Structure formats: structure tokens, C-alpha cells
Amino acid sequence: MASLNKIILIGRLTADPELRYTPSGAPVANFTVAVDRKFSKNDETDFIPIVAWRRLAEICNEFLHKGKLVSIEGRLQTRSYEDREGQRRKAFEVVADDMQMLDRGTGGGGGGGGGARRSAPSQAPAAVGSSGGGGGYDRNYDSGGGGGAGAGFPPGDDNLGIDDIPF
């Protein structure tokens, strides 16, 4: 039997992401996204816990802040744990595979958002988006670390010419 576990959410962060590291050194970011939904004549809001791992966790920690509008793609995960009173509990969360920033930039004339995706290390960064709303950088990030500050982002003035722009 075929099955599918895919979640796509658009909402605003309720607080800044919290970045931690596992004992093996893997970065993990936790944050919550508030998602509105219509219910009868009233709107209701769901607060969805999100977990991002590795490079995506670092990107979320660096660029996402409370109130930021984002799109999250991932999968629903459930886990069981014991609370302080010894009660068995279940937690549901979305493990993020892709994140898109949807707010327009506050700086001068730049793109409207950016994206990050976990992918194979062999994939190169993709295109630079247009300067209109919703554009920004859309590229694949490897799940390994590597690189210094700004790794995974387009280079500054590293001999880029008009022929290097993919549109």
C-alpha cells in the first residue's frame, strides 16, 4: 500500500528559533509557526511545532525571527516520551525539509524572500531570483557543514558578470 507524509504550512513564527546541538554536533532548530484556518465564520489559529536539522537549522536560526512569514515543507513526525510525573505522552511536530521566507525584505530594492532546502551535497546552488516580491534566493543546501561564514550563499563580487545571471 502506498503512503504519503507531506506537510506544507504558511504562517508566522511565534518566537525566534531556538538552536541547539546534539551530542554528536548536529545543529537542530525548534520554532513554532502560527497558521490561521477558517472555521465557520471565525478564524482559528493552530500553533505547529517545527524542527529543522543541520544546515537548514542554522539558516532558520540566522534569518528567521518572531513574526516572520514563512512557508515550511516537511513531514509529520510523532514521538513518545515520559513527562515529569511519569505519564506517557505523545508529541507531534513537523520535520522541515524546505523553508521559504515570504516577507518582503526591509532593505533597499532587494528580493522578497529566500529559501533553503535540505538536499544532497552534490547539488550546486540554484538561481538568484528576481528583484520583485516573492523572489530572493532559491537554492539547495547540503546537509553537511563546510564553508565559512556565508557558506551556501551567493558570492559577493567574485567576478560575477551579466552572463552569470540565470534570467
Residue 150 φ/ψ region, left for φ over 0, alpha for ψ in the -120 to 50 degree band, beta for the rest: left
92-109 confidence digits (pLDDT tens): 999 999 999 998 765 433
3-class SS at 146? coil
Q: Among positive and negative, which fits the CA dihedral 66, 72, 74, 75?
A: positive
Give residue-wise pLDDT tens across range 51-85.
999 999 999 999 999 999 999 999 999 989 899 99
- What whole-number distance in Å separates Cα of residue 41 and Cα of residue 65? 30
User: For residue 31, which of 19, 21, 45, 17 has the smallest C-alpha distance?
Assistant: 17
Instruction: Kindly report the number of other CB atoms within 10 A of residue 53's CB atom.
Output: 18
138's grid cell: 532559491
Q: What predicted TM-score, i.e. pTM, was given to this entire model?
A: 0.62
- Per DSSP (E only), the strands in the chain are 7-13, 18-21, 27-39, 42-53, 69-82, 88-101, 115-119, 141-142
Is 7-146 in CATH node 2.40.30.30?
no
3-state class (DSSP) for residue 113:
coil
- Band of pLDDT at residue 21, cut at 50, 70 and 90: very high
98 within 8 A of 72, measured Cβ to Cβ: yes
